[in-house]
Structure 1
C-alpha cells in the first residue's frame, strides 16, 4: 500500500506540459466558435508578432511592443488600415483570451482609421456584360452575388437546407458578425440552382457509397447530432471537386468549392467584357444594393437584405448615387 502511494505521488509530481502558445490560440478560437479563417489570421499575426520581437514570449511584452509592431506594419510594410486593425484584434485576443491579461493599456491602443472610400459599382449594362462572360457554376455563383446580395463566402458556404424554393428565399447562416438573415432567391436562378443541387446530390451519393459523405458541422451541432453531417440537407450546394483532409481533425471530407475559383473567373470575365472598373466578386454585392436603391427601395429594407448591423453602413450607397437622398441636380444642367 505504501509503495502504491509512493508511486502515485511520483506520478503526480510529473509536470503537465502546457500546449505551445500558438496551439493555445487555436484551442481558444475553436472554444469560442470563431471561424477557421479567423483562427488562421490570428495565429499568423501572433507568430509574426513574436518573430518581430526576437521570439520573446508575449507575456514579457506589452503596449510599447504592440505599438511598435503596428507602426512598422503601417510605415515599413505599408499595409492598409483594415490589415493593421486585424493585427491589433489578433494581439488583443492573445492577451485577453489566451494569456488572461486585463491591463488598461489594451483598451488604450487606438485602431487605425479606415479611409472613407466609395465602393466600386457596376451599371446594369456592365453587370449583364460581366455575367455574359461566365458559364456554368461560376455564372450561377456570380449571379447569386448580384441577385441576392451575398458576400463571397456566404455564397460558397450555402447548404441545401438554406434554400426555400417555395418562398424563393435564401437563409444566410453565420454571416458577418455571426448573424443569420434572409434574402431573396431570384426567380431566374431557381431552375439553374435546382440543377446544381441535383449534381451536388449525385456527388454526395457517390461519397456515401465510398464510405464518406460526412460534411463539416460546427462543433456544437456535430456533438448534439452526430449523424447529421451525412444528411443531404447539411451538404454544400457548391461542393469541391475532390475530397480533402480537414485541417482541424484530419478527417477526409468534401468541403465547399474554393472561393478563389470564383474570384479568378470573375476577374477573367471582367477582362473579356472590357470593363475598366476594378470589379471583383464584392462589386456585385455593391451593385445589388445600389440598383435596389435606384429602384426606390428604402434603406431599412436594403440593410436587412445585406445584413448590415447599422443603417449608416448602408447609407454609403446614397453617396454612390450622388443623390444623398435629395435627388440634387447640378445648376449647370438647369440651363
Structure 2
C-alpha cells in the first residue's frame, strides 16, 4: 500500500497527517489507532504527534528518543503515576510530553536540568513550533510532577511558570437548536444518548461508562462513577428522560453497559457517537461545528439562565474549582438581553 505521512498543524496542535489513495483496508487500520481523526476540512486522516506514531509512519527526526537515563526515568515515572492511580490517558499524555522535553535535553543529566532550561525549551521548541498554550500547560504539569519524584534536583518545582491562560468562551447552542438536534433521530438509542448527555451535562466518556445499575429510578438520579478526577457524582433525571429510558431499556435490554455497541457487553464506540451528532446536525441544517461537549456547555448555560445557583451547577458538572464554572456567566445572555443598546436611542 502506498502512503506518505507528514507533520501538520491542525487547530493549533501538531498532528501526523497520513495521505493515501482511498482504501477500505487502510482506513480501517487507521481507525484502530488511538486518537485517529478524519479532517473534513483538510481531507486527511491525522493522528497524535507521538514518538510511537513517528516511528510507525517512518517520520525521520534527528533524535527520536531521550538518553538511556531519560528512558529509565520515564518508565519509573509511569510506574509512580500508576501507583498513585492516575488514569492511563493522563499517564500517556504526561509521559509523551516529558519524553519530548527530555529529548531536547538528551545530552544533559536529569539532575542538572534547571528552571532556566524550561524557559529555553518553551522558547526554542514550544513557540518555535507554534504549539498551543494548552499543550505547554500539559508539559508544565508533567515536568512539575516528574521533578517531584527526582532526588537531588536543581529544579525548583514551585518556580516553574505556566503560560498565560487563553480566555476562550465555551460554545453554547440555543434551547431551540438543542431541541432540533435531540429530535433529529428517529432511532431511540441515538436519541437517548444525545438526550442524556444534554439533560445531565455528561461528558462523552461518562455516558459510555454508564451501566444500567447507575440509573436510580426511585430517587430520580443517575450516578456517575469514576468521572474526571476519579470523583463520583449524581445528577437529577427528568421524568421525560426516565420515560425515554424505560422505553429504550425494553427495546434494547442492555446487559453490562447502558449503551452497548454491536458486541453485547462492550460499550458503545465514542467515534460512532460523534457521528450520530454529526448526522443530527446535517438533518437539522445547523451549520455550527458543534461537538458532544457543546451539549454539556449548553446544559450548564441553560441552567444558569433559568436561575440555578452557580454552586449547584459546579456540583452537577463535577468541577473542582468554582472558577471553572464561572466561565458560563460570560456566555449567559439573560443579563445581556436586559441591556439596551444606545443605538436604539438614536
The normalised TM-score by structure 1 is 0.71
Query: In the alignment, which of 254, 258, 271 is matched to residue 237 of structure 1?
Result: 258
More helix by share: 1
Shift in alpha-carbon separation, 1:76–1:139, aligned structure 2, 3 A: farther
1:323 positional shift: 4.8
Paired positions, count: 275
**Unmatched 5+ residue regions in structure 1?**
1-18, 205-234, 244-253
Query: In the alignment, which of 180, 184, 197 is matched to residue 232 of structure 2?
Result: 180
Tell me the residue number matched to 1:207: none
For 1:64 and 1:306, how far apart are their aligned partners in 2?
Answer: 38
Question: What are the equivalent positions in structure 2 for 1:199-238 lying under 5 Å apart?
Answer: 204=255, 235-238=256-259
Query: In the alignment, which of 136, 143, 149 is matched to residue 201 of structure 2?
Result: 149
| More deviation, 46-55/33-42 | 46-55
SS in 2 for 1:107: helix
Shift in alpha-carbon separation, 1:271–1:70, aligned structure 2, 3 A: farther
Question: What are the equivalent positions in structure 2 for 1:73-112 lying under 5 Å apart?
Answer: 73-97=125-149, 99-100=150-151, 103=154, 105-112=156-163
> Is 2:327 the counterpart of 1:316?
yes
SS in 2 for 1:77: coil
RMSD over aligned CA atoms reads 3.0
Query: In the alignment, which of 121, 128, 132 is matched to residue 183 of structure 2?
Result: 132
Given that 1:196 and 1:237 are in contact with CA atoms closer than 8 Å, whether structure 2 keeps it comes out as: no
Larger Rg, first or second structure (1 or 2): 1
SS in 2 for 1:171: strand
Tell me the residue number matched to 1:15: none
> Is 2:96 the counterpart of 1:40?
no
Given that 2:114 and 2:154 are in contact with CA atoms closer than 8 Å, whether structure 1 keeps it comes out as: no
1:55 positional shift: 6.9
Query: In the alignment, which of 110, 119, 124 is matched to residue 170 of structure 2?
Result: 119
- Which structure has more relative contact order (CA 8 Å, sep 6+)? It is 1
Query: In the alignment, which of 300, 304, 307 is matched to residue 296 of structure 1?
Result: 307
Given that 1:73 and 1:84 are in contact with CA atoms closer than 8 Å, whether structure 2 keeps it comes out as: no
Tell me the residue number matched to 1:273: 284
CA displacement 1:208-244 (0-9 Å, x = unmatched): xxxxxxxxxxxxxxxxxxxxxxxxxxx432345449x
1:52 positional shift: 3.1
SS in 1 for 2:205: helix
Shift in alpha-carbon separation, 1:88–1:264, aligned structure 2, 3 A: farther
Given that 2:144 and 2:160 are in contact with CA atoms closer than 8 Å, whether structure 1 keeps it comes out as: no
SS in 1 for 2:234: strand
1:288 positional shift: 0.7
SS in 1 for 2:319: coil
1:35 positional shift: 1.1
1:148 positional shift: 0.6
> Is 2:335 the counterpart of 1:328?
no
> Is 2:268 the counterpart of 1:257?
yes
| More deviation, 42-51/29-38 | 42-51
For 1:139 and 1:101, how far apart are their aligned partners in 2?
Answer: 56
More strand by share: 2
CA displacement 1:88-108 (0-9 Å, x = unmatched): 1112222213x3466552211
Tell me the residue number matched to 2:10: none
Tell me the residue number matched to 1:158: 210
Given that 2:223 and 2:234 are in contact with CA atoms closer than 8 Å, whether structure 1 keeps it comes out as: yes
The normalised TM-score by structure 2 is 0.69
**Unmatched 5+ residue regions in structure 2?**
1-70
Shift in alpha-carbon separation, 1:242–1:54, aligned structure 2, 3 A: farther
For 1:184 and 1:101, how far apart are their aligned partners in 2?
Answer: 50
Tell me the residue number matched to 2:51: none
1:126 positional shift: 0.8
Tell me the residue number matched to 2:61: none
Tell me the residue number matched to 1:62: 114
1:128 positional shift: 1.7
